[in-house]
Every structure is written in structure tokens, then in C-alpha cells.
Amino acid sequence: MSVKIFDTPEVQQFLRAVANLDGQGGDPRTKQIVHRLMSDLFKAIDDLDITPDEYWTGIAWLNELGTAGQAGLISPGLGVDHFIDLRLDAVDEQLGVENRTPRTIEGPLYVAGAPVEHGFARLDDGSDESGHPLVMQGTVYDAEGKPAPGAQVEVWHCDTRGFYSHFDPTGKQAPFNMRRTIIADEQGRYRFRSIVPSGYGVPPGSPTEKLLTALGRHGQRPAHIHFFISADGHRKLTTQINLAHDPLVNDDFAHATRDGLVCEVVERTDEASIKAHGMDGPFGEINFDFHLTALVDGVDNQINERRVRAAA
């Protein structure tokens, strides 16, 4: 049996009351958004005949999600983070701004306050013994295409088990392991040594995994490295590179892989390269440049005030 009550004056008036649209006080934007979201939910319940059982299953899942701190984890899984990127791209297209280095999602695992180094940093502390050494380097370019000395390269990635420091369920990693801020040198260059990260998987048995499983999806990400790139007079770039050798490079549960962000890790085994980078044996090398964009009318029109978006 199917009933449709959404369009009745009673329900429409009820929705206005729920969001206090006609009353005093509160924040107008919050009222507008809550009114719209609750209207969309009521309409979905009506249209899809969502049963009380289904609804309360959803509420229990939301409680579980909140307890696990995973709202910021299911968000990219359901594509919202990528959708927001697509909207920022569309705004830039309208403004005539070209992003030579594509933006892509931040994810929930950034931690502010990583150690700051100049020109070069070693990200890993050597404790991940199965890690294959990695050197990544390149130049940060400004909006005019010139190198950007002093640009800030914030970088973070996971270990060979797919765990990030500060969110490591085994508690094994030291704070800020595989997280640094590198200040680009006089030539706008940055370079770091670390290990080749593995892919990431959402926590087994978690509410995030349960929903993905119900959709017939996995919760895996290909190996990737995150970046915030910033410089005076420029918009902050949020991006990642995805490693080409990972079989999931184009099957990312978080929908972050983009053209222009897939990097090969080139294996260096020759003595000259090993010496030049101060390595003790063969290592993988990634070369990647970042291109920044200018402020728009003197401001970063995309700035995203950092919120805590931690996931387990």
C-alpha cells in the first residue's frame, strides 16, 4: 500500500514549523538548509514508502557512525567530497581559472601541526620495516608559471599497513610519522624521503564498511599521498597523487583519483641515483610539480576553515 501525504498543506506547514521558518530567532541559513534537507527526507519517505523499520535502522546506523567518528569517512564514500570538488571546478570554469594541478579531496585524516622542514624532509621514522624507500620531488609554481620559493608543501600518507599516524588502531606509530610541512627552497623545489605507502581500507566491521557492503561496494583506496600546497598571494591547493601501480588506482571508494594526479613510481637501482639522494639502496622515485592559482579578487574564494574530520 502506498500513501502520498508530502504535498498536503498540513505536511508543508509542518516542515516550515520544524525549521522555524516563520518564527523569530535562530540562524536564517541554518533554517533554510534544515528546511530543505528535512523536506527532501520527508519526500523520500513518502515516495519510496520507507517503513518505520527501515527508518529506525537508519537512525541506529547514524548513532553507530557518530560513536565511531566516521561521518567524515562515509562522506567521501558516498561521493559528497568529490561532488564538492566538481562544484569548485565549475566555479573556477565560470571565473576562467585554470587548475593545472587538479584539486582532489582532503579526506578525514589530516592532522595540523606537523614538523616544518626546509627544502627536504624525511617523513618516515624507519620503523616500518616492510616499507620500500621512496623519494618524491618537484617544483611548486606560482600563478605566473614561475617557481615559488617559500611555498608550503604539507604532505601526509599512511604506512604499509594502510594506517595513518594519530589514527593507527595498533598505536604503533609516533605522532606525526609520515606527516611534514616542507618549505620550498630558493628554486621553489621540495623533496622528501619516505616509504611507498600501501592502499587504505575502512575499518573492518565499521558502520562505514557495513553501508558500503550493503551497496555491494568495497571500502578500499589505492595507494596515495595527500598534499596541501600554499604560498603568499595564492589559493591553497588541496590534492593527492595516486600511485599508478596500485590495481585499485581507478577503483577508489573515496572517488579521489583524477586525470593528472596518477604518478608512476620509477625504480632507481643505479649507484649514481642512490648516492645522489643519500639512500642506502634501491628506491622508488616520483617526480611531480604543483601549480598554484592566484587569489580571486584578493581572496581565497575556496578557503575551507579546517574542521576536525577525524575517522577511526
Q: Which of the listed partners (Fe ion, ligand MBD, none) does 255 bind, with a CB threshold of 5 to 8 Å by partner kind? A: none
Strands 262-263 and 237-243: parallel
Angle between helices 9-18 and 28-48 (to 10 degrees): 140
107 or 284: whose CB is closer to ligand MBD? 107
- CA dist 179 and 157 (Å) reads 7
CB of 46 to ligand MBD, least distance (A): 33
- CA dist 204 and 208 (Å) reads 9
CB of 65 to ligand MBD, least distance (A): 14
Q: Which of the listed partners (Fe ion, ligand MBD, none) does 256 bind, with a CB threshold of 5 to 8 Å by partner kind? A: ligand MBD
Q: Which of the listed partners (ligand MBD, Fe ion, none) does 73 bind, with a CB threshold of 5 to 8 Å by partner kind? A: ligand MBD
Single out the segment in contact with Fe ion by CB under 5 A; choices: 29-37, 103-111, 172-180, 203-211.
Answer: 103-111
Closest residue to ligand MBD using C-beta atoms: 107
248 or 256: whose CB is closer to ligand MBD? 256
Pick from 107, 108, 219, 222 the residue near Fe ion by CB under 5 A.
107
Single out the segment in contact with Fe ion by CB under 5 A; choices: 31-39, 101-109, 113-121, 281-289.
Answer: 101-109
- Where do contacts with Fe ion occur on this chain (CB under 5 A)? 107
